Each structure stands twice: as structure tokens, then as C-alpha cells.
Amino acid sequence: MADSITAEPSPTDATPRPTGDPLIVLDHVDKHFGALHVLRDVDLTIHRGEVVVVIGPSGSGKSTLCRTINRLETIDSGTITIDGKPLPSEGRELARLRADVGMVFQSFNLFAHKTVLENVTLGQVKAKGVRPAEARATAMDLLERVGVADQAAKRPAQLSGGQQQRVAIARALAMKPKAMLFDEPTSALDPEMINEVLDVMVGLAHDGMTMVVVTHEMGFARRAAQRVVFMDAGQVVEEADPETFFTAPRSERARDFLSKIL
Ligand code: ADP
Ligand code: MG
């Protein structure tokens, strides 16, 4: 399936044609927080192997979008399917969804009272029933891959922010996810640590991981993303390949936003 081409109606010629079959599909998704209409008729398809950067002003609904995909938030109407199946609402199916769609947050969210190794081991044992010895071996491989194997015995607080975020990535990868969601993964980091995290993410992208990445890091978008999705006020306003989006945005709202961050 991976080499199939999905012919989707594209808004413009500039929209690249993604490869891979649809993995995450949002169809007419609406979400309110009380009177606030936070996602407005969002249609979005993420194809297998695709890296999509989501960008937009603060409060535009980017985090909510990620959280609905992982069912950390429910939606009011519309549908979300992952690999052809509707999002489960509870129980074992929901745990499987959370394993299938790994999430990395701005604030790392590691278990503070566990070691780095335990952080990457626990989910495998508890949610997937992996034997502890095998889980530890997988965890050490992943910690190696993200460059923090030498920190395995420490507590998260003893690590730098960049190291903690790489542990968080390893923890999500340990569940062997089909896709990874990143919500501003470098926003809480000191500048000198941003690249060590982005480099890991670029590596994942090159290895073919399906990724949805909320970030304003244009360097990452240019290096790794096939598509940029621009959100404003709960709507997907514009989609394009990174080069087109950053150099020739079509909408006034995107131009206005970019003029503020560039
Ligand atoms: P972004 O990630 O783009 O900054 P969010 O998805 O976090 O935007 O938030 C979108 C809007 O929804 C904002 O106005 C925010 O204040 C509001 N919001 C987010 N989470 C909640 C919540 N749990 N309850 C009420 N309002 C919320
Ligand atoms: Mg956010």
C-alpha cells in the first residue's frame, strides 16, 4: 500500500501529491468549549508516511486538533478515523489507540518519580504486555537512538529539557506507534537544545514515520515536511508544501501571521 498514490482533490497545483494511503482522516470535525467554537468543520487527511506541520496563531485550535486525534478531547460532530477505524471511546480499544498514535507534548510529561529507563519501559509492559526484559531492551535501543542511553538510570529532573524531550519521544516510540503527534515539542526548550530534538524528529521523518507536528520551526518544516497546514480561528485556512507556504502564502490571514513570526 505504501507506494500507492492517493489522488485527492487538491486546492491548488502547489499542493504536493502525498504518497501512501490515508492513515488519519478528519471529516467535518467540529468542537466547542462551551460557547467557543474551537474546531470549525475541519477536514484533514494525513497519509501514511507523510509529515505534516500545523502552524497558526496561539488559540487557533492546534493543540485541540492534536488532542482530538488521540481522543484526549471528544468532538461534537464529524468523524475521525485512524487506519480506517473510527476512534474508540473507551477501554482496551482506547488504550490501543493511544499506543498507535504517540503524542509528545511541549511540557515533556515524563513520570517524575520514575527513572528514564522506567519511563520508556512501563507503557510497553502495562499497555502491551511486553515482558519486562524485552521492554528494557527495546527501551535501551530507543534511548540509544535518541542519544540519551547514558542517562537511563537518572530521574527526568536530572536531565536537560532537550534530553527530557528526547526521552519523551523514545517513550512514545516504544509503543510502536503508527503515527506520532508533536505539539510544540521545542517551545519550552532553551535555544541551544532545540536542534537536538529537531534532529531526532527529522531522523524519524526520514525513516518514514507518519507525523503531525505543531511547530513554528520553519527549518524543520523545510527539512522534513511534505505539507504545511495553516490554522486560524479553528479552521484549516490553507495547505501547501513548505516552500510555497513560507514564500507565497495565498491567504491574507497566513500572510499576516507569517509577517509576525518571520
Ligand atoms: P493553540 O494550540 O492553537 O494555541 P488551543 O487548541 O490550545 O490552541 O486552544 C484553542 C482555543 O480553545 C483557545 O481559545 C483556548 O483558550 C481554548 N481552550 C483550549 N482548551 C480548553 C479547555 N479545556 N476548556 C476551555 N477552553 C479551552
Ligand atoms: Mg497549543
Ligand 1 in reach of 38 Cβ (< 6 A): yes
Question: Which residue has the least CA distance to atom 11 on ligand 1?
Answer: 59
Q: Report CA 6 to chain centroid distance, whole Å.
A: 21
Copy the grid coordinates of residue 101.
Answer: 498514535
Backbone angles phi, psi at 200, to 5 degrees: -60, -40
pTM score above 0.90: yes
pLDDT-derived band at 2 (thresholds 50, 70, 90) equals: very low
Copy the grid coordinates of residue 255.
Answer: 500572510
In this prediction, residues 206-213 reach a mean pLDDT of: 96
Predicted local confidence at residue 12, as pLDDT: 43
If you search the block for the grid coordinates 471528544, which residue do you land on? 74
pLDDT at 38 > cutoff 50: yes
Ligand 1 in reach of 62 Cβ (< 6 A): yes
Which ligand 1 atom lies nearest to the CA of residue 73? 23
Ligand 1 in reach of 61 Cβ (< 6 A): yes
